[in-house]
Amino acid sequence: MSTTKGPDAPVVPTIADDIHRILVALGEDPTRSGLRETPQRVDASLRWLTRGYGMSIAEEVGAAVFEEDHEDMIVVRDIELYSMCEHHLLPFFGRAHVAYIPKGRIIGLSKLPRLVEVYARRLQVQERLTDQVADAVMSVLHPQGVGVVIEAVHLCMMMRGVEKQNSRTVTSALRGVFRDDPKTRQEFLGLVHGGRRYE
């Protein structure tokens, strides 16, 4: 893999030269007008799509954890997410639903989508992504429990392989009372789904 070097700059891997070689391997002419800037564009695009590697939970949450006696379920539903399948480097996208029951501390509502973003913007499998979001909320808040459901469609299933256009994948991760108390689990799933179909 090629690298970019300056007098005192760290060695930074580049993707553009590799994309140039891929275009040649596909039988294309990387020098034609439509493809001349494609390697650089793909480099920038992939870095944007996987920017979660440069993000951290601590930085994204900051000081937005507050002492609060609230003890009922808090749900943020329909958090849009975009990620990249690590097996085929094709996108998958959908919605995350995140809930927790506090134990003396709550988090700013905008921070839950940020936690999703930290892990979604990496090469992923949906199962791991679901677990990582649940574990992140647990580690930040130490609540009574956490529930996460992710519903997504995968282009690796739609564009190649089985080519099933209407399939979706649903994964869940339950921690604490969401796993151990059937009533809490049922309340969470009822709030998440509410009789709706994924659109």
Q: Which is catalytic among the residues 80, 86, 127, 142?
A: 86
CB under 8 Å, gap of 24 or more: what pairs does 6-14 form? 14/43
Concerning whether 88 is annotated as a catalytic residue, the answer is yes
Active site residue 156: yes
Catalytic residue, from 97, 117, 124, 126: name it.
126
Active-site residue, 144 included: no
Cβ atoms of 127 and 87 closer than 8 Å: no
Selecting among 28, 40, 156, 193, the annotated active-site residue is 156
70 is catalytic: no
Whether 151 is catalytic: no
- For 118-156, b where at least 16 C-beta lie within 10 A, e where not — what string? bbbbbebbbeebbbbbbbbbbebbebbbbbbbbbbbbeb
- Distance in angstroms (rounded) separating the CA atoms of residues 114 and 91: 19
Q: Residue 87 catalytic?
A: yes
Give me the catalytic one of 59, 87, 142, 186.
87
Catalytic position from the list 28, 40, 88, 193 = 88
Catalytic residue among 20, 60, 85, 97: 85
Query: Which residues are annotated as catalytic?
Result: 85-88, 126, 154, 156
